[in-house]
Chain A
C-alpha cells in the first residue's frame, strides 16, 4: 500500500466483532489507525482486536458495549480517552434486525431495533462529541442502509431506524460543522454478512437480479467508503449519504 491515510488516528467502530464493522476496523488498522473494537459479543471483540493488532501492527482495544445504554457509552468513551488520549473517528455501525410485517410486529421488537440502531448512534455521538468539538476535528461515520432510503416490506422498525440515522447524520453535520467535525453516512445495499446470510438462496438470487452490478456487496466495499470518509480525502464532504449498493437504488 502507498501512504497510510489514518496514521496516528484513534477510531472506535461499534459492533465490530464481525461483519461490516470488523471489515471497517481491519481497513482502518491497515491505514494506520488505532482501533477500538466494541461489541455486545465481548469474546468476539477480544478475538478481533487481537487478530487486527497482530495483523496490522497497530494498537487495539476491545470493549464490551451495548450502545443502547448511554451510561455504558459514556464510560467506554472515557476509557478510550484515558488509554489513547483522544478520539478522531467514530463509526456507528452496531445494528440489529427484528423483521416482521407491521400488523404482526410487537412493541418490543419495534423498540429494541430503534434503541440499538438509532438511539445507539445518538448515545455514541453525544459521548464522543465533546472531545471532537474541543479539539476542533473529528469524523463521525454512521452506517445507515438502503432500506432507510427506499423502505422495505417486513422492516418497519429497521427501515425507520436507518431513515432516522440519515436525518440524525444531517443534523449532527450542521451542529458540528463550525468545529471541523464532519458527519456522514454510508447506506449499504445487500452485503454478504451474517445479517443477510439468513436469507434463502432463492431470495439472494432474486436480489442479485435487482442489482445493476449483478452481485451482493462485500463488507470490504463498505469499508473502503468508510476509510475514504475517515481520511483527509473527504475533507469537504459533510452531511452526506454514500450509497454502497451496486446501483440497486439510485
Chain B
C-alpha cells in the first residue's frame, strides 16, 4: 500500500513538472531541484488532494517542500 502511494506521488510529480523520473528522489526539493514555481507547488498539492482524497491545510502544505515530505505527509494522513 505504501509502495503504491510512493509510486503514485512520483507519477503525479513527473506528470506535473515534466521532469525525468530518476530526478524524483525523496530528498529532491520541488523548487530548488525540480524547477517548480509557486503555482506548480500549489497545483501539486491540489493534485495530491484529489488523488488521495485528502484535504491538506495551508500550513501543512507550506511544509511540503520535498518529494519525501509529500510522501510522508500523505502516508500519515491518508484515511485507511
A residues whose Cβ falls under 8 Å from a Cβ of B: 130, 133-134, 175, 178-179
Contact = CB atoms under 8 A, between A and B. Distances in A.
A130 B39 CA distance: 11
A179 B37 CA distance: 11
8 contacts: A130-B43, A133-B39, A133-B43, A134-B43, A175-B39, A178-B37, A178-B39, A179-B39
A175 B46 CA distance: 16
B16 to A, nearest CB: 9
Contacts, number: 9
A134 B47 CA distance: 11
B17 to A, nearest CB: 13
Interface in B18-53: 37, 39, 43, 46
Contacts of B39: 133, 175, 178-179
Contacts of B46: 130
B61 to A, nearest CB: 16
A130 B46 CA distance: 10
Given A133-B39, A134-B43, A178-B39, 6 more contacts: A130-B43, A130-B46, A133-B43, A175-B39, A178-B37, A179-B39
A195 B57 CA distance: 43
Which 8 residue pairs spanning A and B have beta carbons closest together? A178-B37, A178-B39, A133-B39, A179-B39, A133-B43, A175-B39, A130-B46, A134-B43
B20 to A, nearest CB: 20
B34 to A, nearest CB: 16
A136 to B, nearest CB: 11
Nearest to A177: B39
Contacts of A130: 43, 46
